[in-house]
Amino acid sequence: QVQLVESGGGSVQAGASLRLSCVGSGYTYIAHCMAWFRQAPGKEREAVVSIDSDGKTSYAASVKGRFTVSQDSAKKTLYLQINSSKPEDTATYYCAIKAVPAAKYCRGLNGDFEHWGQGTQVTVSS
């Protein structure tokens, strides 16, 4: 079955950098949509960034210029580089994936996703 496992979270001071990873297994997709979401306590889950198998990305305005998504399809690994972290970045970060016939069917931050990881906690203190 499809599994996604996130890692790389931690507690940092504001301004620090972190790199989150999401390793997938149990699937072979012709094309896919992937994304990072986050959810802070008491808040709704928010889409942070999406990327399709062609490498097209979409970023939420709140993270644009500070977060960078990348993927290594051969390793089935999705990355999220967080720079210039802020206390408001504190949340549990989840990766998600959906299989599609072609990357053009991905809907960016508004897409729906089939499979989710268990999350990794990021805490940024001021």
Q: What is the pLDDT of residues 42-100, one digit of tens each?
A: 999 999 999 999 999 999 999 999 999 999 999 999 999 999 999 999 999 999 999 99
Spatial distance between the Cα atoms of 52 and 71, rounded to a whole number of angstroms: 9
Q: Are the CB atoms for 78 and 8 separated by under 8 Å? A: no
pLDDT for residue 110 is more than 90:
no
pLDDT for residue 111 is more than 90:
no
Q: Are the CB atoms for 85 and 16 separated by under 8 Å? A: yes
Please, is 13 exposed, middle or buried when counting C-beta atoms within 10 Å of its C-beta (0-12, 13-18, 19+)?
A: exposed
pLDDT at residue 83, as a whole number: 98
For 105, the token pair is 């069917």
| Burial per residue of 30-64, b for 16 or more beta-carbon CB atoms within 10 angstroms, e otherwise | ebbbbbbbbeeeeeeeebbbbbbbeeebbbbeebe
pLDDT at residue 22, as a whole number: 98
Give whole-number Cα distances, 117 to 62, 78, 113, in Å: 22, 12, 11
